Amino acid sequence: MDNDLTILLETCDMVIAEDIQVLLEASQVYSVLVSDNPASSVLNIYSGFNPIENIIIKINKNDYQKAVEIIKNSAYKKFLTNA
């Protein structure tokens, strides 16, 4: 399945990543959030502290162009670095 996914964008803010995910899902473009800090969820739950992490939003390769257009027409267009 990993071969079917491609990177849409990266951010260091989980709230923004989740907002983008909701925006994409509203147009039926489903995504996966991948963090480079596997302990971030546990730290957030137990301490309320949001650790520094890099979040990659991955989507299906077939949805890439549609997702780029959705992001370009949103407040998050500055996060598109490779489109």
Q: How many CA atoms lie within 13 A of 15 on its CB side?
A: 3
Q: DSSP class of residue 65?
A: H
Whether the model pTM is above 0.75: yes
Q: Which CATH class is domain 2-79?
A: alpha beta
Amino acid (1-letter code) at residue 14: M
Q: According to DSSP H, which parts of the chain are helical?
A: 14-26, 40-47, 64-72
Residues 10-67: tens digit of each pLDDT? 998 888 999 999 999 999 999 999 987 765 554 555 555 555 688 999 999 999 999 9
How far apart (Å, rounded) are the C-alpha atoms in residues 51 and 62? 32
The domains of the chain are located at 2-79
